[in-house]
Amino acid sequence: MPNLTTLLTTKEVAEEELLKLDDKWGKKYPLVINSWNNKWENLSVFFKYPAEIRKTIYTTNIIESVHRQFRKLTKTKGAFPNENSLLKLLYLGIQNASKKWSMPVRNWSLTISQLAIFFEGRLDKYLEV
């Protein structure tokens, strides 16, 4: 089976690879394969976007970093007196973590241009148009 970047070229290629995955692993892991097949319309929705947008969507390093920061903050605490105290801790944690974010999103100008075209008019108030 090819690597993920090959799977993400088109929806049709991904569907072919999903069939191959089913052939190879379907008998051993039927619940997993059935889950993918049953949720395919939701899982494959990003194929409707141009390649520049898809690359940004499936890049999860930033999200994983935020989750790691949240786990680091909350695992040392036994319990929170209320929901608001947890939200405050997470808010302060994200404020602190965001100070370390210095890497720009790769090809951001191209991505934002594609987003502006794809979602015509919806980004105008956020962008200097």
Nearest residue to 40 via CA among 59, 21, 24: 21
Instruction: State pLDDT tens for residues 92-120.
Output: 988 888 887 777 777 888 888 888 888 88
Measured torsion, CA atoms of residues 48, 22, 59, 55, in degrees rounded to the nearest 10: -40
pLDDT of residue 8: 63
With vertex at residue 64, the alpha carbon angle to CA 100 and CA 12, rounded to the nearest 5 degrees, is: 130
Share of the chain above pLDDT 70, in %: 90
Task: Pick 123 or 129 by higher pLDDT.
Answer: 123
Q: By the 8 A CB rule, do 82 and 89 touch?
A: no
**pTM: predicted TM-score of the whole model, two decimal places:** 0.53
pLDDT above 70 (res 2): no
> Which spans in the chain are helix H?
4-7, 11-25, 30-38, 40-43, 51-57, 61-75, 83-98, 108-118
